[in-house]
Amino acid sequence: MVIQTILLWTHAKSLVCNEPSFDIKKILLNINIIAIIIGICLFMFQLQLPSLLVDTFSKVGSMMGPLAMIVIGMLIGEMDLRSIFVEKRTYLISLFRLVVFPLIMILIFKFTGMSRLTVDADKILLITILAASAPPAATITQFAQLYNKHPGYASIMNVMGVIFSIITMPLMIMIYQLL
């Protein structure tokens, strides 16, 4: 999560905003980084939070998936589906994001012997394949909206990824299990 958040506030922001530099203060004071640091400290020092806080965080955490689905549903609902499928570049990007990169990971996992590292290696690698073949996060769409940098195009990428992943995710899992 730390790496993803740092990449989001450095590389992703520079791509979205066409800025070559980034603000290290914004990265370090990002609420996600602060939460991760607190979580690491709680884990390292085996500190227990009161059950009221644990329950609250659990309830909020369980809302993240449905909330992302609501955001994606709102994006899909606002779009003319014909206009989504007109963007030719998004097909290539979706192909690489949803098929090529997960296939490369599958081949690396299977032919380097990583799947035999531990008893549960196959399950661990399967989770990694699921993450790699998942559609793009709504975060980039929200990022584009936040900085007013082509949120419509980012939404098209997100929606196409979600639609295509209905086919590509099970396909990648099937290929992984067959190899």
pLDDT tens-digit series, residues 7-34: 777 787 777 777 777 777 877 787 878 8
Residue 160 contacts residue 84 (beta carbons within 8 Å): yes
Separation CA 2–CA 138 (nearest Å): 18
Confidence of residue 59 (pLDDT cuts 50, 70, 90): very high
Confidence of residue 42 (pLDDT cuts 50, 70, 90): very high
Separation CA 50–CA 42 (nearest Å): 12
Collapse the DSSP code of 1 into the 3-class scheme (helix H, G, I; strand E, B; otherwise coil) and give the result. Answer: coil
Confidence of residue 96 (pLDDT cuts 50, 70, 90): very high
Q: Is the dihedral of CA 1, 37, 65, 83 positive or negative?
A: negative
Does the structure show a pLDDT above 90 at 4? no
Question: Which position has the higher pLDDT, 69 or 57?
Answer: 57
Separation CA 21–CA 44 (nearest Å): 33
Does the structure show a pLDDT above 70 at 1? no
Distance of CA 105 to the CA centre of its chain: 16
Distance of CA 90 to the CA centre of its chain: 17
Alpha helices in the chain (DSSP H): 2-7, 13-17, 24-28, 31-44, 51-62, 64-78, 81-84, 88-95, 101-111, 121-132, 138-146, 151-178
pLDDT score for 77: 78
